[in-house]
Amino acid sequence: MAGMHFLVGISTDDYVILAADKATFAYGAILADSENDKEYRLGKKLTMMCIGEEGDVAQFGDWTKRNLQLYSVRNGYEVSPASAHHFVRRSIAHGLRSSDRYTVDVLIGGYDEKEEKAFLGSVDYLGNGLAKQPYLFRGFCGRFCYAIMDREYKKNMSEAEGLIMMKKCIGEAKRRFVANIPGYKVVIIDKNGYRKLDDVLF
Partner 1 sequence: MSIMSYTGGTVVAMAGDECVCIASDLRIGEQMTTIATDEKKVHKVSDKVYVGLAGFQSDAKTMLEKILFRKNLYELRENRKVRPQILSEMISNLCYQHRFGSYFTEPLVAGLDDQNKPYICCMDTIGCVSAPRDFVAIGTGQEYLLGVCENFWQENMKPEELFEATAQSILSCLERDAASGWGAVVYTITKDKVNVSTIKSRMD
CB atoms within 10 A of CB 116: 10
Task: Select 104 or 200, whichever has its Cβ closest to partner 1.
Answer: 104
Residue 124 interacts with partner 1 (CB under 8 A)?
yes
β-bridge mates for residue 194, sequence order: 189
Regarding 115 and contact with partner 1 (CB under 8 A), the answer is no
Q: Which of residues 127-166 bind partner 1 (CB under 8 A)?
A: 127-130, 133, 136, 142-143, 146
- Among 5-13, 119-127, 153-161, 182-190, the segment contacting partner 1 (CB under 8 A): 119-127
Closest CA to 23 of 1, 42, 38, 8: 38
Contact 146/137 with Cβ under 8 angstroms? yes
Q: How far is CA 144 from CA 137, 141, 149, 170, 173, in A?
A: 10, 6, 9, 10, 7
Which one of 55, 62, 90, 199 is in contact with partner 1 (CB under 8 A)?
90
User: Residue 105 Cβ, how far from partner 1 at the closest point, in Å?
Assistant: 10
Q: Which residues bind partner 1 (CB under 8 A)?
A: 1, 89-90, 93-94, 96-97, 122, 124, 126-130, 133, 136, 142-143, 146
